[in-house]
A and B are shown apart, each in its own frame.
Chain A
Amino acid sequence: GAVVSQHPSWVICKSGTSVKIECRSLDFQATTMFWYRQFPKQSLMLMATSNEGSKATYEQGVEKDKFLINHASLTLSTLTVTSAHPEDSSFYICSASPPLAVNEQFFGPGTRLTVL
């Protein structure tokens, strides 16, 4: 099956710094990737839809300037949390759909972000 990776799997940073999370589709090209945020014991909340070669589409309430998304290639999307604060601590998950299987999303293993 299709494989999606994320790097890093966990990161700890100081308040005020920026953190970049990578999402890669390893064996397929993904024109669309999705970024989710998940708090403990809660569901996945879609943050934004990342489209290759164009600007990301953000969900209502998600700050575009704080969560920068770049989808520069068909296999890589990045999420940068700028000027991170403790309330940004969460589990971030990306997903992608292969072109010939747009009805299914394959999820990365997630990145746990802790902001001190």
Chain B
Amino acid sequence: AQTVTQSQPEMSVQEAETVTLSCTYDTSESDYYLFWYKQPPSRQMILVIRQEAYKQQNATENRFSVNFQKAAKSFSLKISDSQLGDAAMYFCAYRSTETSGSRLTFGEGTQLTVNP
């Protein structure tokens, strides 16, 4: 079974600064998807970024980018020019392409605080 680990329960960053959230995963599969989701105080899950394992290029979405290291099974999220609205719980998630359905396995989450 796949597991996802986020070793940072809490992180903080100054507004306009850059912060990196860590995520590692364990799998024996070669093809899969990785995601970062944001859960603000409203608790609505919002997709931040997605990475396909067979793509070597790191995904980027505006101020959000990932550092995907497949061999190390690491998938960190970098938030540049942090804004107050970035404050939320961030979840790393894994999805297999080899099993049926599109179930997600989530990490424990990292609570990000943005200080003005």
Would A104 and B50 be within 8 Å (CB), given that A43-B109, A49-B103, A110-B43 are in contact? yes
Chain B residues bordering chain A, tally (CB within 8 A): 21
- Interface residue B102 (Cβ < 8 Å from any Cβ of A): yes
Taking chain B's interface residues, is the majority helix, strand, or loop, or is none over half, making it mixed?
A: loop
In the complex, the answer to whether B102 meets A107 with C-beta atoms within 8 Å is: no
In the complex, the answer to whether B102 meets A43 with C-beta atoms within 8 Å is: no
Q: In the complex, what distance in Å separates the CA atom of A102 from the CA atom of B109?
A: 23
Q: In the complex, what distance in Å separates the CA atom of A46 from the CA atom of B93?
A: 12
Q: In the complex, what distance in Å separates the CA atom of A44 from the CA atom of B103?
A: 12
- Selected from B42, B95, B102, B106, the residue in CB contact (under 8 A) with A44 is B106
- Interface residue B45 (Cβ < 8 Å from any Cβ of A): yes
A residues with CB within 8 A of B: 32, 34, 38, 41-46, 49, 91, 93, 95, 97, 102-105, 107, 109-110
Question: Per-position contact with A for B94-116: 1 when CB-CB < 8 Å, else 0?
Answer: 01010001111111110100000
Query: From B104, which residue of chain A is reached at the shortest CB distance?
Result: A105
In the complex, the answer to whether B50 meets A44 with C-beta atoms within 8 Å is: no
Would A110 and B108 be within 8 Å (CB), given that A43-B91, A44-B91, A49-B103 are in contact? no
Query: From A106, which residue of chain B is reached at the shortest CB distance?
Result: B47
Would A43 and B106 be within 8 Å (CB), given that A93-B45, A109-B44, A110-B44 are in contact? yes
- With a cutoff of 8 Å between Cβ atoms, the chain A residues found around residue B111 in the complex are 41
In the complex, the answer to whether B102 meets A32 with C-beta atoms within 8 Å is: yes
- With a cutoff of 8 Å between Cβ atoms, the chain B residues found around residue A45 in the complex are 106
- With a cutoff of 8 Å between Cβ atoms, the chain A residues found around residue B43 in the complex are 38, 91, 93, 109-110
- Interface residue B64 (Cβ < 8 Å from any Cβ of A): no
In the complex, the answer to whether B95 meets A103 with C-beta atoms within 8 Å is: yes
